[in-house]
Amino acid sequence: MANPYLVVENLTKVYERGQVVALRDLSFSVEKGEFLVVIGLSGSGKSTLLRCINRLVEPTKGKIYLDGVDVTRLSSARMRRVRRRIGMIFQQFNLIDRSTAIGNVLTGRLGYTPAWRALLGWFSKADRDRALANLERVGLRDKAYVRADQLSGGQRQRVGIARALMQEPELLLADEPVSALDPATSHSVMQYLEQMNREDGVTVLASLHFLSLARRYGTRIIALKDGQLVFDGPPGAIDDTRFKEIYGEEAEEVEVR
């Protein structure tokens, strides 16, 4: 039996300023092809957890094995090679506003492009074709040469997805991908993630605010509270008692349909 695809062991993150403990001794593992949803209140450590996996945030303690390699010990050069295989999309999309949609999508290839070509902005013909194909896939082929700041929120997030697709990722980290979007757009974005998961076999780790979205798209759910794991199981297992444990006594469940 092979090891799980992603293993997080005793992960702890303490932010130096103010000694804030974001993650406490967190351990779990993810199999290849899972759609794992991370839920929890704001400030429970969801974003930090996702960022520790591709080391946008340096973990304080603990290990993270990706395909059997401990990424917490990699040199920065080797970490970059690992990051190429990990796509990431963000709550605020984090596009380059002044660049076109295709310009943003092409940055997804930067990990595979030699530095001098990257600096001059000379992406290969193959990459350009791939960028157009990925924009086609997220339904934005006609917006390819529109500046990113001219796009709507849903369109911007789809550009973000196309950028992640350029990396041909094995793992996709989605940090509250739909929190800044309206319910209808949220579903369209989530469906692209689901499609990546099912058709391309990309393992997805998504943090979500709405439990209804988590139930609908996740194959498994973990819940964080104050940086600790309070739930790990199938979506159906979160009943009212569990819900109150995770979100506190006063919480009411809000549905997104």
Binding residues vs another protein (CB under 8 A) = 51, 54, 56, 80-88, 90, 92-99, 107-113, 115, 118-119, 121, 160, 163, 166-167, 173
Name 204's bridge partners. 35, 172
Q: For residue 43, count other CB atoms closer than 10 A to its CB.
A: 13
Q: Are 173 and 205 in contact (CB under 8 A)?
A: yes
Smallest separation (angstroms) from another protein to the CB of 239: 36
Distance linking the first and last C-alpha atoms of the chain: 39
Closest to another protein by CB, 148 or 224: 148
What whole-number distance in Å separates Cα of residue 57 and Cα of residue 55? 5
Q: What are phi and psi of 224, to 5 degrees?
A: -110, 145
User: 3-state class of 30 per DSSP?
Assistant: strand
Expressed in percent and rounded to 5, the helix, strand and coil fractions of the chain are 40, 25, 35
| Residues 6 or more apart in contact with residue 229 via CB below 8 angstroms | 26, 27, 28, 222, 223
CB 176 to another protein: min, Å:
13
Q: Between residues 54 and 72, which has the closer beta carbon with respect to another protein?
A: 54
Which is closer to another protein, CB of 59 or CB of 246? 59
| Smallest gap from residue 131 Cβ to another protein (A) | 13
Query: Which CB sits closer to another protein, 65 or 112?
Result: 112
Least gap, CB of 163 to another protein (angstroms): 7
Between 164 and 211, whose beta carbon lies closer to another protein?
164
Number of CB atoms found within 10 A of residue 99's CB: 17
**Shortest distance (Å) from residue 56 CB to another protein:** 5
Shortest Cβ distance from residue 108 to another protein (Å)? 5
Q: How far apart are CA 240 and CA 252, in angstroms?
A: 10
The bridge status of strand 220-225 relative to strand 35-39 is: parallel
CB nearer to another protein: pick between 107 and 207: 107
Q: Which is nearer to another protein, 93 or 192 (CB)?
A: 93
Q: How far is the CB of 87 from another protein (least distance, A)?
A: 8
Alpha carbon distance 208, 190 (integer Å)? 10
